[in-house]
Chain A
């Protein structure tokens, strides 16, 4: 994986909750056996009308967001299918980070991102940033009032900064292990393979219940 570098880029908002991975990359594009070529199909069904023409209302189709690299959406982003193609599509399109809000609920905090999507993102240098609902709402408001809002993401300092006449910053939490692996672009499989001896010892006494 390539290391995640501090990033400054154009921010685009997508005012939707529960953005599922079927929307991010539609099924007809999952037939490829390559790991590349998904970016151009990002949000295909939302970007195109029934007749195949581009829907100019969809944010990514607007010229000012052509180079957007930070996506902001509502809660439960990336729900549904486990397809990593969704992460590949976002990243290959040019997105470096996705920001979404967690939700407070009487029974506890509901995470901003679906589990599998968040895991997949962390293995592809796509940063998922969870903020409070009010903070994400503020970003939506600011983006709505700005032609082309830029933001900087500093992973080391766990901070998102909006470049407005008066800069606004938000702190975000991240699993330290994920942060470490993303900053250094570590190879997950390589890390596990270093534990070969431990795995062998484990296997010697572990029952997989497989008939031999």
Chain B
């Protein structure tokens, strides 16, 4: 039978199907962070259970980490949560990349960097953006804390087989149109529940042309379309990424040759069937900016804040509530929206390529008066690479703040937060109410668009901006 990429991975991880129809799926990698794991470890303690495969389990701390002075955590509750992870990892024998480690970073950034994320594997993490790892041809899904405990104890996850949804991006993207714009456009088209119950497989010329960084951005936001996971078939770009640098957990030499043979067998077979398919023309896609409080509330940068009755997939009331929260009026040009803050970071857009793209814009320019700009590398490795390329100098000279690695203002569990009514151009993944701080207003954009907005003080169409 002709199989999809997803089915090939699923089939080789089915341990058994229980009498009630639940599939026990084997998990090859379990990533752990400080926020969603303490109650899971506590559950193990209470039941006298152990971590079944500690060597397949990797932990880091990212959500609570201050990005200015990381060793000086002022919030005692944040500090306790980070300490709890340290203690739990020691007690249960789990490898931890803590704040002292050169490998610390946002969990979805360090997994690929270290070669933990490999094609054909299953990965889980108590974090919805686990979908990021699908960029490698991995079945990667976000889970809750009960499931974290389940995987720690059994290395298996009870699952129902999701449906498959093929999204093909045909054609070439135009200059200054990025992976972020492709995925925001898709979410705007199918809606934030359009992918619920499905695994999305992205393919087509525009996806093939993306770097691994770009592919991770696309897969990262699959959850924003409600999808169980997002995936991209591995190809030479993937293999090059895994073989080119020192990735401690990626195979080398003979093992790599053997792995390559397996990885090349993963892409969907010709004629494989999907439950749903759609085609988007990438060459028609413009830079995207969100205007509301749901990632599907998005328009082209050349567009306007919509009329409450004119938004597909959202009712009048949804739009009115969003516009009120965002302090916007229908008909306003997106490029007239002024911003106070710019955040370049997060598991969506804090990889080296994102920082290089932002630096291109900042180079020789100054941040607009009154605008605060935070640039937060996704990991210590990204930080060091950026500094070796002197990108930090470009950022600082233009007036932006260069920070240490962590989740930062993406979810504001640490000191990086918006104040009420502050408006932010953000490269993160969610524009929910209060996401970046209570009352804060978030507009999701690509790193290039965020950088240009920082310089101009408002959104600009980067394609025609001088």
Asked if B80 CB lies within 8 Å of chain A CBs, one says: yes
With A30-B413, A31-B77, A199-B24: A114-B435 Cβ-Cβ less than 8 Å: no
Contact between A33 and B80, CB atoms less than 8 A apart: yes
What is the minimal beta-carbon distance from B217 to any residue of chain A, in angstroms?
18
B121 & A208 in contact (Cβ 8 Å cutoff): yes
Residues of B122-149 contacting chain A, CB below 8 A: 126-128, 130, 142-147, 149
Contact (Cβ within 8 A) B317 A18: no
A81 to B131: give the CA distance in the assembly, Å.
12
Q: Which 10 A-B pairs have the closest CB atoms?
A: A33-B38, A84-B144, A120-B144, A177-B20, A123-B146, A76-B193, A82-B128, A84-B145, A31-B77, A82-B142
Q: Does B74 contact A (CB under 8 A)?
A: no
A196 to chain B, nearest CB (A): 9
B259–A209 CB distance below 8 A: yes
Considering only residues 12-49 of chain A, those with a C-beta below 8 Å from chain B are 15-18, 20, 22-23, 26-28, 30-35, 45
Q: Is A53 an interface residue (CB 8 A)?
A: no
- Point out the residues of chain A lying under 8 angstroms from B433, CB to CB: 22-23, 45
Interface 1/0 per residue, B47-58 and A, CB below 8 Å: 101000001100
**A79 at the A/B interface (Cβ < 8 Å)?**
yes
**For the complex, what is the distance from the CA of A115 to the CA of B228, rounded to whole Å?**
7
The reply to whether B413 and A79 contact each other, CB–CB distance below 8 Å, is no
CB distance from A44 to the nearest CB of B (A): 9
The residue from B75, B143, B194 contacting A116, defined by CB atoms under 8 A apart: B143
Q: Which residues of A contact B420 (CB under 8 A)?
A: 50
A31 touches B144 (CB 8 A): no
Residue from B42, B84, B120, B197 whose CB has the most chain A CB atoms within 10 Å: B197
Q: Does A188 contact B (CB under 8 A)?
A: yes
**Known contacts A80-B432, A84-B144, A188-B150; is-contact A17 B315 (Cβ 8 Å):** yes
Choose the segment among A60-68, A105-113, A149-157, A163-171 that binds chain B (4+ C-beta atoms closer than 8 Å): A105-113
Q: How far is the CA of A79 from the CA of B225 in the complex (A)?
A: 9
Q: How many residues of A contact B (CB 8 A)?
A: 62
Do residues A76 and B249 form an inter-chain contact, with CB atoms below 8 A? no
A62 and B117 CA atoms in complex are apart in Å by 49
A79 to B259, CA, bound (A): 36
Chain A 68-108 interface residues, beta-carbon cutoff 8 Å to B: 74-76, 79-85, 87, 103, 105, 107-108
What is the distance, in angstroms, from A158's C-beta to the closest C-beta of chain B? 16
A124 CA to B144 CA, complexed, in Å: 11
* Chain B residues touching A, range: 35 or more
The secondary-structure label for the interface of chain B is loop
Flag if B413 contacts A28 (CB, 8 Å): yes
Distance of A108 Cα from B191 Cα, bound (Å):
13
Distance (whole angstroms) from the CB of A40 to the closest CB of chain B: 16
Complex contact A34–B39 (CB within 8 A): yes
Q: A39 to B124, alpha carbons, bound, how many Å?
A: 27
A9 to chain B, nearest CB (A): 24
Contacts A114-B226, A177-B21; A15 near B317 (Cβ below 8 A) = yes
Which residues of chain B are near A177, meaning CB under 8 Å?
Answer: 18, 20-22, 160
Contacts of A85 in B (CB 8 A): 145
Pair B193/A108 contact, Cβ less than 8 Å: no
Chain A positions within 8 Å of B149 at CB level: 189
Contact with A along B39-79 (1 / 0, CB 8 A): 10010000101000001100000011000000000010110
Q: Which of A16, A33, A192, A206 contacts B39 (CB 8 A)?
A: A33
Q: Pick the contact of A119 from B147, B251, B318 — CB < 8 Å?
A: B147
Cβ of A202 and Cβ of B26 under 8 Å apart? Answer: yes
The closest CB in chain B to the CB of A179 belongs to B20
Does B434 sit at the interface, judged by CB under 8 A? Answer: yes
